[in-house]
Amino acid sequence: MNTTSIKPTVFVVDDEPGMRKSLDRLLRSAGLQAECFGNAETFLREYDPGRPGCLILDVCMDHMTGLELQKELNARRILLPTIVISGYADVPNVVKAVKGGAVDFLEKPFNDELLLERVQQAIRLDQRQRMEAVRASATEARLRSLTPRETQVMELLVAGRRTKQIAYDLNISPKTADIHRAHVLEKMKVDTVVDLVRLVHDLPD
């Protein structure tokens, strides 16, 4: 799914109706699209990871807490930038939220302008992450197009081996090594070995 043309949504998960209503009104007044959920379970059931945006998440909720939802999203590899909010910013919860990848932790009542600023930062982060994921997916598809021998040559190129060294390592002629090198660069859609190294090193672990 191409998410670049989809308007970002700010997803709000908070079990306080008044807070959901207040946040919905604030976000919409700033021209943002918002969707509110009264509990973590409903959000998990209805959220489509293909939809861009960010998450405003309350810590203290019945059944599944905000930190438990954050942990579940991480387990599912859903990298939705999250702003955690709470009626009291106790240190253990702050530490857990930040370690879980939250972009910020705001204590209620928070400054509206500060929240909106953090939301815009989170949306920009989500856009960058999604663009990087698209590039990584394209690179991985190119890697899969390499033959086993081309993969060996590519790995040696990335390791800094010269063509003559590659030929010796693989027990092939320098001319054959040169042909494989050219095919690797062509299939990976790069012009130089430097570009190839940069491309491969930029892949996520």
What's the pLDDT at 86? 83
Map out the domains of the chain as residue ranges. Answer: 9-137, 145-201
Task: Confirm if 30 and 56 have CB atoms less than 8 A apart.
Answer: no
Is the pTM value of this prediction over 0.95? Answer: no
Measured CA to CA, the distance from residue 167 to residue 186 in angstroms comes to: 19
How far apart are alpha carbons 132 and 126 in whole angstroms?
A: 10
CATH of 145-201, one of 3.40.190.10, 1.10.10.10, 3.40.50.970, 3.40.1160.10: 1.10.10.10
Number of Cβ within 10 Å of residue 92's Cβ equals: 8
Collapsing DSSP states into helix, strand and coil, what is residue 12?
strand
Distance, in Å, from the CA atom of 55 to the CA atom of 68, rounded to the nearest integer, reads 14
**What would the pLDDT profile of 80-106 be if each residue is shown by its tens digit?**
999 988 877 665 667 677 776 788 888
CATH 3.40.50.2300 holds for 9-137: yes
pLDDT at 134 (0 to 100): 87
Predicted pLDDT at 200: 87
* Average pLDDT over the chain, rounded to an integer: 89
| pLDDT of amino acid 3 | 52
Report the alpha-carbon distance of residue 35 to residue 56 in Å, rounded: 10
User: Are 9-137 and 145-201 in the same CATH fold?
Assistant: no
Q: Which amino acid is at 34?
A: A
Calculate mean pLDDT across residues 18-44.
95
Compute the average pLDDT of residues 155-167.
Answer: 93
Q: What is the pLDDT of residue 60?
A: 83
- For 27-33, what is the mean pLDDT? 95
Residue type, 184: V
* Structural tokens at position 16: 């306080």
**pLDDT at 4 > cutoff 60:** no
The predicted pLDDT at position 92 comes to: 65
- Which of 34-38, 178-182, 196-200 bottoms out in mean pLDDT, i.e. has the lowest? 196-200
DSSP letters, 35-98, are EEESSHHHHHHH--TTS-EEEEEES--SSS-HHHHHHHHHHTT----EEEEESS--HHHHHHHH
Instruction: Report which of 97, 85, 101, 66 is spatially closest to residue 22, judged by C-alpha positions.
Output: 85
In this predicted structure, the answer to whether residue 141 has a pLDDT above a threshold of 70 is yes
